[in-house]
Amino acid sequence: MALFGNASVRLKLILASILGSGTALLVFGAVITGFDLMALRARLVRRMTVQADIVGANCLSALLFNDQKSAEDTLAALKADPRILGAGLYTADRKLFATYLRDPASGARVMDEALGDAGEGHLLMRDRLRLSRSVLFNGAAAGTVVILCDLREITESLTRDVVVFGSVLLTSLLLALAISSRLQRDITQPILHLAATARRVSQDKDYSVRATGDRRGEIGALVVAFNEMLEEIRQQEAALRGAQDELEQRVVERTAQLQAANGELEAFSYSVSHDLRAPIRHIAGFAEILEADGAGLNEAGRRHLKKIAQAAARMGELIDDLLVFSRMGRSELQAATVSLADLLKEVLKEAQPDVQRPIDWRIDPLPTVHGDAAMLRLVFANLVSNAMKYTAKSEHPRIEIGVDRDEDREVVIRVRDNGVGFDMAYVSKLFGVFQRLHRADEFEGTGIGLANVRRIINRHGGRTWAEGELGHGAAFYFSLPKVKESTT
């Protein structure tokens, strides 16, 4: 500043006004441009996220039923948005299921590179946006939608912002040079206020504030544009919050409806089970009287009477199992620290009298978990009983029980046998009530045991599944939360 030490006060004021105005506008323009760029990118990401969620929802049935043609038709609907260069639909195991390319001839190689990684989230590249969203079914990922979007719109908008800002800056400097002696205060104060407002918005993320000042001239137009931009952002945030609140309310309502339906179903099952006990007792009692009397019954009559008694006994077992299944849904969890190894020892000890032939037991060390000991004991009792029952015809029966996977928050237990197994085409029926994959004359049972296993494990926040092959045994898996470590 020593260069202007001998300059007049007027010249110094003019220079100060020009430099101050220019600097303020430059800083403000940089803030606005950067903020606008971030807002445009965030807006594009939100729009593409909505697009991906809609496409994912429309493609869910195609994924579940392996309908590639339907998935490709759904993806092809994205051609209505000129910003989308291409999209890909991946299965849960990260395999490409269906694609859409706006320009297959010239963009195939670039699309292959961009769509190669189907990881969750978004990535802003130099001239493209890649966004991935999971396709959910029952809370689990059934696949992934990947959308590749052109960023040319953002680049053009940024260029326009720079041109507009440059024009405003140049015009402001020329006007400041011409009339700064009279309008310095009128010019500098609005700029400083606008810069302060921009900083406040940038730091506090409060989009309800507004820039004030004279609405005339270039600076006034800039203030108006800035306020309009803030209002648009505020409205978008309000709309997004409203959509989130509505979605949360719908989830709460659906959950309440589901709980009410489950309660009614359990009450119905319990009532039916109790109402069926009386006629079953009458049938069994009169059959016993007839069998004890025996007078006037020939051999065929006695056989028929025996079948009636057996059917009544089986119906009684079904009612008892149904009552247990109903109680599993109503009883409160008595969660505590449970040693699975000790539970298994008790179950195996009680099962010994039912062992008809030597069994090759292969028991691995089992961990300690957090759950209801009585319910988890019933899980082991059902799975061990099934393994013993379905290996009864094996030449060398073998049952393996151990940890299949041990992770930070949960542990997966495996019960495997070399029995008759089952066809994986019917695996979805295994854990249903009264669902059996073998005839009753081959293996006795009511078909409720595995349904109880699934209900108990679900109430513990775990999962159940099975694998098998006809003639080569079966493996049943369930996961449980691990014991929470106390912090001191």
pLDDT at residue 258, rounded to an integer: 76
Cα–Cα distances in angstroms (integers) from residue 120 to residues 49, 138, 148, 309, in the given order: 11, 18, 13, 60
Torsion region of 294: left, alpha or beta (phi above 0 gives left; psi -120 to 50 gives alpha): left
CA dist 217 → 172, 177, 355, 422 (Å): 10, 16, 96, 82
- In which band, very low, low, confident or very high, does the pLDDT at 296 lie, cut at 50, 70 and 90? low
More confident residue, 440 or 9: 440
Q: Are 482 and 336 in contact (CB under 8 A)?
A: no
pLDDT (tens digit, 9 = 90+) per residue, 352-385? Answer: 776 777 888 899 999 888 888 888 888 898 898 8
State the pLDDT at residue 486. Answer: 45
Report the SS3 class of residue 249: helix
**Predicted local confidence at residue 224, as pLDDT:** 79
Residue span(s) of the chain under CATH 3.30.565.10 come to: 332-488
Sign of CA dihedral 188, 191, 197, 203: negative
Axis-axis angle for helices 68-76, 9-64 (nearest 10): 150
More confident residue, 218 or 469: 469
281's tokens: 């007792």
Q: Indicate the residue type of 465.
A: W
Pairing of strands 140-150, 335-339: unpaired
CA distance to 143, 324, 402, 450, 478, per residue, from 434 (Å): 32, 13, 28, 9, 20
Mean pLDDT of 4-18: 55
Tokens standing for 207? 């989009």
Report the greatest alpha carbon distance in the chain. Answer: 140
Whole-structure pTM value? 0.41
How buried is 143 (Cβ within 10 angstroms: 0-12 exposed, 13-18 middle, 19+ buried)? buried
Q: State residue 8's pLDDT score.
A: 45
pLDDT above 70: residue 299: yes
Secondary structure E strands in 332-407: 335-339, 360-363, 368-372, 398-406
- Average of per-residue pLDDT values in the chain: 77
- 483 alpha carbon, distance to own chain's centre: 24
What one-character DSSP code corresponds to residue 486?
Answer: P
> If you average pLDDT over residues 14-40, what whole number do you get?
74
- What fold is seen in the domain 332-488? Heat Shock Protein 90 (3.30.565)
Is residue 418 a contact partner of residue 472, using CB atoms and an 8 Å limit? yes
Q: What is the pLDDT of residues 92-129, one digit of tens each?
A: 888 888 888 887 765 555 455 555 554 577 887 777 78
- Range scoring the smallest mean pLDDT among 208-222, 246-260, 346-360, 368-382: 208-222
Closest Cα to residue 465, out of 436, 427, 426?
427
Q: Residues 165-189: what's their mean pLDDT?
A: 67
Provide CATH 3.30.450.20 ranges for the chain: 2-206
How do residues 190-204 score in pLDDT, each as one tens digit? 666 777 777 777 777
Strands 360-363 and 398-406, sheet pairing: parallel
Other Cβ atoms less than 10 A from the Cβ of 269: the count is: 17
Pick the CATH number of 2-206 from 3.20.20.70, 3.30.450.20, 3.30.70.1400, 1.10.3720.10: 3.30.450.20
Element spanning 38, H or E:
helix 9-64
Angle of CA points 476, 461, 94, to nearest 5°: 70
Query: Which residue pairs, CB below 8 angstroms and at least 24 apart, start in 382-385?
Result: 382/449, 382/450, 382/452, 382/453, 383/415, 383/453, 383/476, 384/344, 384/347, 384/348, 384/351, 384/415, 385/351, 385/354, 385/449
Give percent of the chain with pLDDT exceeding 90: 6
**In which residue are the tokens 């109880």 written?**
452
User: Do 487 and 472 contact (CB within 8 A), yes or no?
Assistant: no
73 pLDDT higher than 60: yes
For residue 478, is pLDDT > 90? yes
